[in-house]
Each structure stands twice: as C-alpha cells, then as structure tokens.
Structure 1
Amino acid sequence: MEKITIYHTNDIHSQLSYWPRIARYLTQEKQRLMSKKETVYVFDDGDATDRVHPLTEATNGKAIAELLHDGSYDAVTIGNNEGIGNTKDQLNDLFSEARYEVVVSNLKDKETESRPDWAREVLLLKTKGQHTFALVGLTIPLPMSYDSLGWNVEDPFDVLDELVRTYRNKVDGFILLSHLGLPTDREIAERYPEVLVIMGGHTHHLLPEGEMIEGTLIAGAGKFGTHVGKITLEYDKGNQILMAAEVIDVRSQVDPVPDEHVDMNELYRIGNRMLEHEVLGELKQPLNKEQVAEPNLISLTLAAMTSLSDTTIGVVNTGLFLESLPKGLINRRQLHEALPHPMRVVEVSMDGRSLKRLLNQMEQQKEKLKMLPVKGYGFRGKIFGSLYFQGIKRIKEGIYINGKELDQNREYKLITVDYFLYVPFFPELQAQTSVRMISPDFLRTIVGNYIAHQNSNSLNERKESS
C-alpha cells in the first residue's frame, strides 16, 4: 500500500496577490507529508510568468522563476508566456538558477536540433513505495512564433507516441504536465491509457473534482493563483490504484501571511523603478492613445512597425493602447503601461483579392468590434476597439493602397500584430500561408527603439547643421 500526493498550480501569470500564502502552504504541506514518510510532489503547469507584471518585464521573468523556490517545487513545464514571451536568449537564461527541474518534452533548438540544456525530456519519479512514474511536460505548439524565435516545437501526440513506446515497460505510468488546454488533455486521455494523471493549464480550467476519462484523471487549478490543485494516488494491497482530485481555494481555505499584500505591492514597485531607470528617448510633443490628432501613439506605432519591412501598409486595433505618452523623456515603464501585451509584429504576404476580402471582413465587423470585450492570446486590454490603418483607405469608389486603387492581381505585404492571427474575427488573415515574424522583440520594444532612433536622427541632423 502507498499514498502519493501531488500539489499543482498553473497559469499564475505573475499575479502575486496570494503568492506568499501559496508558497507557505505548499512548503508546509510538503514538509508535513515528508515527515510522515509519504511521497509528495509539487508541480507547475506553465505560464507562471507574465510580462504584464513590471518585475517580470524588468527581469525577463527571472524574478518569478526565483519566487517558485519559495513554493518548494519539484518540477515545472513552460507555457506560451515563458516559451514565446521571451527571446531565445532570455528563455535560455530564465531557469539558469532554478533548483527545480524543468520538463519540456516537445521543444528543441532549431540550430542544434537538440533539447536545450535547461530542459529535461522526461523525469523519472521513484516513490518511497518503489513505484516509478515518467513525468512528461508538453507545451502548446505555436509553430510560427516558436520557429521565428529559433525553436522547433513538436506535435505533442508525436512526442507522446515516442515516449510511451520508450518507457511503457519501464514505469508504472505516465504523469503529464500539460500546457495544451483542456480539449487536448481530453484527447490525450482518450488515446493513451498509459497516462494516469494530466495536470493541465493554458485554458485556465478549474476542475474541482477533476475529470476521469478512460481511466485517466484530468486536473486543472484555474488561473491567477486563486487555487492550488491536489491529487492523491493510492495503491492498495493488490497494487490497484485509486485516484482523486480536488482544489484548494487559497482565498478562503489558506491562511494569509502577515503583510503579504504589502510585500507583493513592493515587488510591483521594484519592477516599476527598474523600468523607469531605462530611458529610451525624448518626445517633442505628447502622443495620445486616442485618434484625436496627428501624430498620436497609434500612428507612431504603425510607423515603427512598418519601418521593419519594405511595406508601408499596416493595421492595428486601438484597444492595444492603454496609456498615452507625455512630452519629454520616455522610459520603459511608460511604454510597458501603454503596451503591456506580449505581442510581436508579423508581415503577411497576400494577393490583392485576399487583401480585399480581409478588408471587407474588417469593414463588416468594425461596429461589433469597437466596444467588444476581449481577452487572451496575449491581449492585456479591455476592448478590441477600432481598426486603425496606415496606407489603406476606403472611399466610395473603392479601396486605395498608398493612394492607388487596390490591384487584385498584385502581391501586397501587410504589417500587423500576431494577435490578429489568433483571434476568430479575420478568417481571411488566418488562411494566409506566407507569414513571417519580422522581429523577436515585443511591440513595445519596437516602439521604444523607433523613438530612440528618431532621437538619434534628430541629434545627428542638429550636429550636421551646426
């Protein structure tokens, strides 16, 4: 007979309001069960970091990776916020000081064609009762984003096929840290009886008692650190296993830590101070987040985006812009507050017919989208807002691109944010196959670099004229 306890979190997204009590609870529970000679593990299923928090932004996520030590974690996997929320160099450095294992079974370096040295393909867990489990970590495949950053993210089913073949006869079962989303977790449960437990994230699902599908227990602990998941595996004398899942609401079921909100607010302030110290350039006039006059922050952002390509046409939504930029020196904190989204810029090549269909889709939905509440896919605003174009005008006579009537047989390149490829509003855009990410930097970094470059050009012009 043996009892195994697993505590798990997912999708904390740098929301630290309850982190001190979570960390203390996990550590105390782990110590309590270990003192009883029981087997206990603590795992995280990805998206622990999120650059919406200024300290995460200022430290490229390392502050959160360090905080996980307070929760006595044994192993974590990565979500899209770690995987594509960082450049390749930043991700390679994210866990350089981690004292827990990082298990990512479906990620390889494009250059070396091997797993990065900070990641394990599989972790074998041996319990006190001599049972052995293969711990697997799978992150959601977003090939365009990962490919552009220098990673090869593999199909999770192909990876599972191989791992099950390799370890099936060496372990008592598989435990999966999944950042794939609940629908995929359910499909895995149906296809792989060898997988005993799936702890899931990405879709922020909260499963108070878990779901049992074909003998596989699926668990999920919601989002933003409001819950901790708990799984128990019990072997009887006949070596039959009984599995159960529950969630602990840390807001009501876990005692607060003294001054926890004061401490977490201080981390927020520390992050902001770090960002304030990085001055990017100077604005001669304020840039409003609204379309009240030219220039404004929206038009400057589109200019910054198209400066990275040989095209001058682009589109963004005004809901991206959360704060205006004042006249004077501009620092990273101001840009982070104005554009907190982990979004990158993409160039989409399409013929004139496809571009016309896309623009018609946008025209047909503009009133619906203007005040539509949206979330997810990296968007950190509240409403989608209006569509704002550069180089594209629609008048009664037709659509004009840079002053010339749209040619349906011509090839065009459109600049936008990768967010537009994921939302369900523009199927014509999603149907395009010629898409490239034109910079590993986030949108706000591109805007900051553009402001700095303008300052540099202005300074050079003053030097030449003097």
Structure 2
Amino acid sequence: MEEMIHIYHTNDLHSHLEHWPSIHKLVTERRRWHEEEGDEVFVFDIGDHMDRWHPLSDATRGKANCRLMNEAGYDAATIGNNEGITLPFEDLDSMYIEKEFEMLVANLYKQDGSRPAWAKPYHVYISKKGTRIGVIGVTVNFGRFYQQLGWNVIDPIEEIEKCVQELKEETDLIILLSHLGIHDDERIASQFPEIDVILGGHTHHILHEGKEVGSSLLGGAGKFGYYTGHVTVKLDQDTKTILQKSAVLYEMNEAGQAEGETEKSAVYYLEGKELMGEPVASLPAEITSDPMQHSELSKLLTQALREWCDADCAFMNAGMILKGLKQGDVTKFDLLEICPHPINPCTINMPGAELKEVLLQTRDETWPHMQIKGLGFRGTVMGVMEYDGIEFRQKGNVQQVFINGELIDAKKHYILAIPDMFTFGRFFPEIQRAEEKRYWLPEFLRNLLEWKLSKMTIHI
C-alpha cells in the first residue's frame, strides 16, 4: 500500500494580500479534496508573510497576518527578517499569541538563552497511517539587528544539525522550512542528506518543478503570493520508504481565483487604514514632494534624521518620500502611505577625508534617475539628494565641502546620519567598510517624520 502526503507552501508574501483570497481558497479546497481521498495534507509558510508597508500589518503589528494564516488552516510557519527585525521585541513576542499553528524557529532565542514561548525548533506530526514527519524551521542570521532588538539569532546550520541528529532516528520524513535563501538551501541539501524536502524563501526564488540536490527536493514559490507551491511525497505505507517526490507551482492568477478577490483585498487595506486613522500632527498648509526636486518635505525628513541621531550631518535621497501631505490633520496612515519603507536610521563615525569622498559621490548626476530594488526601498527612483548640515561651495576648479559652516577637516571624525539602505548596497565603498556603524532600531524613517511633525508647527 502507498501513502500520499501533500504539502502546500507559501513564502515571502510581504503582506501583498491581492491574491490572498485565492491562496486561502486553494489550500482550504485542496485540504478537503485530499482528506476525502484519505491522504495527508500540510500547509506551511516560510517567512516574510508580514511586511509593514501594508496598513493592516503595520496597524496590528502582524497579528492580522497570524489571523489570516489561522483562517486558512496553516499547520506551521517560520519567520523571515520582516517579522524578525522590523518589529520591536514586544510586538514580535506577542504577534503569534493567538496562533493555531506551530511556529518553528530553531535558531531564535531570547538574550537569556531561553526560547520564546511561541516558538520551538521543530515539530513531529504523525499521519493517519502512522508516518512520523519531522518539520524544522530556521531564519536568516541577521544577528546584529536581532541583538539590538533584544533577541539572539545564531547560526542556522548549527541548529539544523542538532535537530537532524534528534529527528533522524525518530522520524520517517524530515522537512525543512528555510528562510535562508536558495544558496544556503543547496548547501544544506548537500550537507544533510537526511532532509527529504527543503521549502525555501528569502531570495524569492521560483522553482516551478522543484530542484533535486542530492537526496533532497527543494521548493520555492517566488514572492508576493504570485505562486503557491505543492510538493507531493509518495511512500510505501509499510516500510515508510519514499517512492517518489514531486513539486509544482500554481500561478495564483490562473488557479481559479476566489470570487470577489479584488474587493476582499481592498477590505484588508481599508481595515488597516481605519486602524491607522489617528492624527499625529496638523499642517497649516499643504507640503508638496517631488523626487526630482528639492522639496520642503524631503528636507524636513533629512533634518529629522540628523536631529534624531544627534549627528553632525545627514543626507537622504528625495525618492524616499512618495508624495506630499495635504493641509490639515496628518494621520499615521498618511505617513505610512508617503514613506512605506522598513528602513531604519543609521549613523557612521568616519574621518573627514572619507566623508568628503562619500559626499562628493552623492553629487553624481546619475543618482536621481537610478531605479532601486530591494534593500527595503519601496519607491521607484532614487531622486535628488537632500542634505542637512552639509554645504558645497565651488572655489575655482575645486568643490569644497562644509559641515555646519566649517570647511571639512580631513583628520577630524564626524557622525553622518543616513538611511540604512546605503550601508547594504554597493553605493559607497567608504560606508560599506566603515567599522563604526550604529543602526537605530526599531524606528523607521516615517517614525522620525512623525516625531518631527508632532513637535513643531510648519510654516510654508
């Protein structure tokens, strides 16, 4: 006799709930169909289900995402970096308080060495036909950021090894939920032949029919809910030997869309908007913004960046502000809408000689039209650079740089405040190799703008 195990998986939804009604329909209908046939069914999420650009996720600090997974009947999930490092400690620690599924994060600890009450390294499921299925979860090791937020994330490979050692004699099938990225998944498949299925995320890879590496089958369903993955494992019921493994992706635009999907996803957005309707400031006049022009709003945020971080100077790309603010009350939703990025302030301590090189690089005429993807950026183009505490003056053929009215001193050290995305990409070599960096967590740039607006009256 043969046993069929069906595994449905999602990853990196990033709160793009446009196709969530269809995902919900697919996994709930398929569960019913398979169970009617006597087969086993599991539904897993591989992290970054939540992203705070969406008002419902931001307003509820991810609890709405937990609710949606409950309603869809998920069996287990792990966290991604969006759950892990864009929420204050207390928000992540309470996000899953009403979960009806297992949260598996083997490499996440509190700083006292204990595990959070809502998470465990793995869970063993027993199928109706007695097959023991061990499921492990791990997340990407952004240790520096977790440490600042009060968590301790350790090497996921070490934790996987511990889990595999405990599970390999006690289970018939091992599945890994890996928010590590495709390259680590391939490495893990080679290093741990005991793992039968690796369901991946983080790098948004799309594996239409899976990928076999050694004895493991890898799966990946892209991003934003464009796909839902389906892995099928066929076993010999008596010996528990795996006879066949296969993978397929269902494109959610074509997989039998849920009725009223657009309207349902709009309701999610409206619910979040209403929850974020609290006024935080009142403007006597409209403030406009344009990424290609120096504007009052982008100047204001750059000033807030320097003041919040108590830095000597600051710069920021104007494309960080997506549009202006109207006259009257400004709500939390308004600030989310114009500045949706999960980008934190960062300060760099650097000598004047290196700071000057960085600042001169920001004058490159190609910057404004540069299109950026990733690094937390949610805009379209970089836009012009805004400065605070920085002035450029031309003296003959030499461009001079002044910090707070004084000519920059090559040997003096300065504190520069910037959006943290400039430390991750290959924008500025001097910033990349700087050793004295401080990331100001958990505040986003929009929190700084709210702080600035709430404590001042703006005269346009």
Same fold (TM over 0.5): yes
Which blocks of at least 5 consecutive residues in structure 1 are unaligned?
459-466
- Structure 1 residue 228 displacement after superposition: 0.8
Between stretches 37-46 and 282-291, larger displacement belongs to 282-291
Secondary structure at 1:311 match in 2: coil
Structure-2 residue corresponding to 1:74 = 75
| Residue 252, structure 1, aligned to residue 254, structure 2 | yes
User: Structure 1 residues 300 and 45, CA, compared in 2 at 3 Å: closer, same or farther?
Assistant: same
Structure-2 residue corresponding to 1:451 = 453
Structure-1 residue corresponding to 2:427 = 425
Secondary structure at 1:118 match in 2: coil
- Structure 1 residue 217 displacement after superposition: 0.9
| Residue 108, structure 1, aligned to residue 135, structure 2 | no
Letter of the structure 1 residue corresponding to residue 68 of structure 2: L
Structure-2 residue corresponding to 1:212 = 212
- Structure 1 residue 294 displacement after superposition: 7.8
- Structure 1 residue 238 displacement after superposition: 5.6
Aligned pairs for 1:55-204 (under 5 A) are 55-110=56-111, 112-204=112-204
Q: Aligned partners of 1:315 and 1:294: how far apart in 2?
A: 12
| Residue 284, structure 1, aligned to residue 284, structure 2 | yes
- Structure 1 residue 158 displacement after superposition: 2.2
- Structure 1 residue 445 displacement after superposition: 1.5
Q: Aligned partners of 1:437 and 1:340: how far apart in 2?
A: 18
Letter of the structure 2 residue corresponding to residue 172 of structure 1: D
- Structure 1 residue 203 displacement after superposition: 1.5
Which blocks of at least 5 consecutive residues in structure 2 are unaligned?
none
TM-superposition CA deviations, 1:83-108 (whole Å, max 9, x none): 12211111111111111111111111
Between stretches 72-81 and 435-444, larger displacement belongs to 435-444
User: Structure 1 residues 51 and 406, CA, compared in 2 at 3 Å: closer, same or farther?
Assistant: same
Secondary structure at 1:185 match in 2: helix
Structure-2 residue corresponding to 1:389 = 387
Q: Aligned partners of 2:350 and 2:170: how far apart in 1?
A: 51
Q: Aligned partners of 2:67 and 2:104: how far apart in 1?
A: 17
Letter of the structure 2 residue corresponding to residue 416 of structure 1: I
Q: Aligned partners of 2:90 and 2:232: how far apart in 1?
A: 38
| Residue 233, structure 1, aligned to residue 233, structure 2 | yes
Secondary structure at 1:175 match in 2: strand
Secondary structure at 1:105 match in 2: coil
Q: Aligned partners of 1:263 and 1:173: how far apart in 2?
A: 37
- Structure 1 residue 397 displacement after superposition: 4.2
Letter of the structure 1 residue corresponding to residue 312 of structure 2: T
Q: RMSD of aligned C-alpha atoms? A: 2.1
Q: Aligned partners of 2:254 and 2:132: how far apart in 1?
A: 35
Structure-2 residue corresponding to 1:464 = none
TM-score, with normalisation over the residues of structure 2?
0.92
Assess if the C-alpha contact under 8 Å between 1:308 and 1:438 holds in 2.
Answer: no
Structure-1 residue corresponding to 2:275 = 274
Letter of the structure 2 residue corresponding to residue 181 of structure 1: G
- Structure 1 residue 186 displacement after superposition: 1.5
Assess if the C-alpha contact under 8 Å between 1:146 and 1:152 holds in 2.
Answer: yes
* Residues paired across the two proteins, number: 452
Assess if the C-alpha contact under 8 Å between 1:144 and 1:436 holds in 2.
Answer: no
TM-superposition CA deviations, 1:200-256 (whole Å, max 9, x none): 111111111011111111101111112110001112366432211111112112x22
Runs of 4+ in 1 over 4 A off after TM superposition: 291-295
